[in-house]
Amino acid sequence: MRVKVLVIGGGAREHALCRSLSLDPDVSSLHCAPGNAGIAEVAELHPVDIMDGAAVADLAVSLGADFVIVGPEAPLVAGVADAVRERGVDCFGPSREAAALEGSKAFAKDVMATAGVPTARSYVCITPEEVDAALDAFGAPYVVKDDGLAAGKGVVVTDDLAAARAHALACDRVVIEEFLDGPEVSLFAVTDGETVLPLQPAQDFKRALDADEGPNTGGMGAYSPLPWADPKLVEEVERTVLQPTVDELRRRGTPFAGLLYAGLAITSRGVRVIEFNARFGDPETQVVLARLRTPLAGLLRAAATGQLAAYPELRWSDGAAVTVVIASHNYPGTPRTGDPITGLDDVAEKDEHAYVLHAGTRTDDDGRIVSAGGRVLSVTATGSTLTKARDRAYRALGRIGLDGGHHRGDIAAKAAQAAQD
């Protein structure tokens, strides 16, 4: 069956989704709104306010789209997927109520408690007295999370009590929780609200600077697979985290159909959930989709239409993928935008196994591609080993110029070295 697909969003995640969809023979035409300068190469772009459910649904209907994929969390939490479905168009993305799993950390904690899902012990705090009591109860390092959506920047992890307290008091409602020690893993699962199909795990690099220094960001790079992880990890997380969470949301009458993203810490006492997201993660999607061989449109459509129970096993490349983010000057603070990006054609010409996915870019009045956001580009490469994929990603990245731009130099370095591949 050939489908006309509309993707909502305009970051590197949406570029990765559109790239995979453009390679899928079942996709007859591909549209993206609003998209970005890179997505324009594989999809037809349309302007839309992604937070306006009626406008997104109108666009889907006017295009005659068979299927809509909502990429970012903000429209999902605002109910944009519901608005599309109400107009009779299949949509990949959870309902407003189910997306609260990401939209409210307190809600996610409640679901996990009921479902028996392992996570950090936590307190939800509103008053300064509650904040002080919680900080005191857990001690350093302090973990303070804004309850609402904050684009990956609402979390402060610090040994500095004054900084922890200041962040807590700047938020209306915070979750203060136990510090989880151990490597982090991002595991995505495609679900129709009942059946859960985990994808391959990836690791993200959240801090801005090498060696995990500097402030938290939306994510500065990622790789997959994780050679150091227990081969049973995915099966364990499916059994102890993903399936119980999906079952609990269905039991509550608000089934979660879409992409369930579990951010996990592998602690000495076992796997713990750090957070849930209700959409594909960025930049992990870039590496997970680089390795997925199963055509994407059919998989996501089966999830959107409750047909995952009989879905064939997913197919993966045996190789590795690495992605490195180039961020603009001053990111994750207020980024400088409008800087020209050079070298993109060079990568397209010379790097057979690497490609650039655009995050915050646009074409200016002179036809130049310029930066338009904090995370600007994501350079992704594949290879038979992590070392090869990593070398290719950095070689391609070296051809790209962005005044004031910065990137991490150590994405996947430790894992590649440990795997000695």
Binding site for ligand GLY (CB under 6 A): 152, 204, 218-219, 277, 281-282, 284
Residue 11 or 152: the one with the smaller Cβ distance to ligand AMP is 152
How many residues of this chain bind ligand AMP (CB under 6 A)? 16
CB 4 within 8 A of CB 66: yes
Residue 262 or 296: the one with the smaller Cβ distance to ligand AMP is 262
Q: Is 341 helix (H, G, I), strand (E, B) or coil?
A: strand
Tell me whether residue 211 is exposed, middle or buried, using C-beta atoms within 10 angstroms of its C-beta: 0 to 12, 13 to 18, 19 or more.
Answer: exposed
C-alpha–C-alpha distance, residues 103 and 186, integer Å? 18
User: Count of residues for the chain?
Assistant: 421
Q: Which one of residues 111, 155, 289, 341 is an interface residue with ligand AMP (CB under 6 A)?
A: 155
- Using the rule CB under 6 A, is 107 a contact of ligand AMP? no
Residue 142 or 394: the one with the smaller Cβ distance to ligand AMP is 142
CB of 140 to ligand GLY, least distance (A): 24
155 binds, among ligand GLY, ligand AMP, none (CB under 5 to 8 A by kind): ligand AMP
C-alpha–C-alpha distance, residues 418 and 339, integer Å? 37
Interface with ligand AMP by CB under 6 A: which range of 176-184, 228-236, 366-374, 401-409? 176-184
Number of H helices, E strands in the chain: 15, 24
CB of 99 to ligand AMP, least distance (A): 15
CB 406 within 8 A of CB 330: no
Residue 216 or 317: the one with the smaller Cβ distance to ligand GLY is 216
CB of 377 to ligand GLY, least distance (A): 16
- Using the rule CB under 6 A, is 216 a contact of ligand AMP? yes
Touching ligand AMP, residues 52-91 (CB under 6 A) = none
CB 19 within 8 A of CB 42: yes
Beta bridge partners of 202: 186
C-alpha–C-alpha distance, residues 101 and 56, integer Å? 22
Residues contacting 334, CB < 8 A, separation 6+: none
Touching ligand AMP, residues 244-303 (CB under 6 A) = 263, 274-275
Burial of 303-342, coded b for 16+ CB within 10 Å and e otherwise, reads bbeeebeebeeeeeeebbbbbbbbbbbebbeebebebebe
Residue 83 or 234: the one with the smaller Cβ distance to ligand GLY is 234
216 binds, among ligand GLY, ligand AMP, none (CB under 5 to 8 A by kind): ligand AMP
- Using the rule CB under 6 A, is 152 a contact of ligand AMP? yes
CB of 68 to ligand AMP, least distance (A): 26
Beta bridge partners of 29: 4
- Using the rule CB under 6 A, is 351 a contact of ligand AMP? no
Token pair 């129970």 is found at 309
219 binds, among ligand AMP, ligand GLY, none (CB under 5 to 8 A by kind): ligand GLY
- Using the rule CB under 6 A, is 206 a contact of ligand AMP? yes
C-alpha–C-alpha distance, residues 383 and 219, integer Å? 22
Which residues make up the interface to ligand AMP (CB under 6 A)? 120, 143, 145, 152, 155, 157, 177-180, 184, 206, 216, 263, 274-275
